[in-house]
Structure 1
Amino acid sequence: MKKMGKEQWTAYFFLSPAILLLAAFVFFPSIYAFFVSLHDWNMLGGRKFIGIDNYIHILKDDYFWSSLRRSIFYAGIAVPLVFCVSLGLALIVRHLGRWSNLYRTLFFFPNLISTVICVLIFRFILDSAPSGLMNYIISFFGFDSVSWLGTTGGSWFGLINVFFWTSIGFYMLIMLSGLLDIPGDYYEAAEIDGANRWVAFWRITVPQMKNTMVFVFIVNVINAFQFFDLFLIMTKGGPARATEITVLYIYNLGFGELRLGYSSAISFLLFLLVFVLTIVQVKVFRVNQSVNQ
């Protein structure tokens, strides 16, 4: 076995702070969460080892499956919406010339605002009182005020809009960076061959952007399943638990009912579901890529 040289030791030395941080805040908490999930652990009643009983109970928990369906519903609407619009904006911004930097800044600005501030802005817009911006606009046209966050449809409308508003700028910049990496010669050759913009988009842009698109889609899915603070601050799972997604259900179990063992089991199961979903997406992308080649 070869001994490590000075350069390798130097590299490990500079990597050690990041490795220690990952170990302290990612690896150890994950392992400890799995340990906790094997116990009936109530902050008021002590801890008792029960093996996989928590995981068996999850299979019979109707509230968990309902929350998971809401998470899938939310991701199924928010992710394609953010993906398509961010790609469309990136295509537009690429052709703006000297105005490109201005619009990049404007679209990315919501990412610089904390989620709490964004939620407060949208709560003001969707306030059920006549002073709410949406109700003020519809009352101006003679319609009655609507309790936006007091109904299931209105709550989902607000939640999806906040996720859309706070995410689109970040993903647009990633898409734009992928677009700028495509050589302009490809489009010039396509134009000479008589291809229109639609053909050039499907024959040049999409194949060249495939890695970027897959990255954006996967990260977007993961974020959608883990978006917690938005739901907690905006609706708290209401009305009548209609917007209680899985991460909020975990929070209510762990910090509301103090059932740390059971909430940890659901957390670990949610991690596995997102992990498997990510692996499936990567595998599907590789299969499609090999078929196209």
Structure 2
Amino acid sequence: MSDFHAGFACFVGRPNAGKSTLTNALVGTKIAITSSKPQTTRHTVRGIVHRPDAQLVLVDTPGLHKPRTLLGQRLNDLVRTTWAEVDVVALCVPADEPVGRGDKFIADEIAGLKKKNVLAIVTKTDLVDKKRLAEQLLAVSRLGEFAEIVPVSAKAGDQVDLLADLLAKYLPESPPLYPDGELTDEPEMVMVAELIREAALEGVRDELPHSLAVVVEEMEPREGRDDLLDVHATVFVERPSQKAIVLGAGGERIKHVGSTSRRQIEALLGTRIFLDLRVKVAKDWQRDPRQLRRLGF
């Protein structure tokens, strides 16, 4: 299969530029955590797009930002390492927000890698009219040298297939890197933890995004039953006041988090689950190297 191509592509951009939603649209299933809050992606989630002529492995990195904590610094290092290793880098800029310093900062960082295959994607095109889109495409073209500039709406499905074609075009000739049918190489426990974390973040509009970590302690079939999986997970926060927010009045919020994430996990794993959720305080874990390690960073 000499004309088969396979390789890695990475979406980069400011937090909340639509990278995870785009990953999910290309793979055709929900694998990257999407949230309206910036900085919610912590792990390099790989989505795998299988095509007759190519296999595209999407690497989803956290947004690059000015770090204020040890965790922030580690996330930034992770981003730069990933960029250097992939075959194609695609800068995502939302159509409905002015091109700003953050976009310029990231475009300059990418230019420093001296990579040939750099694309720009203008995301969320369903939110603007044609005139605004034309202006945005022009503004993005001024950010640097791009092999292609593609407007896309992951929500409306506009140009998603075209984007897949273009990304595949820049991959090296190679046999498939993953077995057919696999959608991600993330361990299931990591994905389950991400789904719980996403549900726990929904509707919490204060400073919780960074303060929340989820660890799946164990995941195993119920004894004597092969149709039920027991999942035990802990939501870690930094302060008792945050624990109160996550639990909600009379435990209402955590119940809602449980039922929302349970449905998503069942859809992901294709089996019924019993979810045991606990909330614990791990004081200032973002600044403590030992706790960061324990929570998987």
Report the TM-score range of the alignment, normalised by the length of the smaller protein. under 0.3
Q: Which has the higher strand share?
A: 2
Q: Relative contact order: is structure 1 or structure 2 higher (C-alpha 8 Å, sep ≥ 6)?
A: 1
Structure showing greater radius of gyration is 1
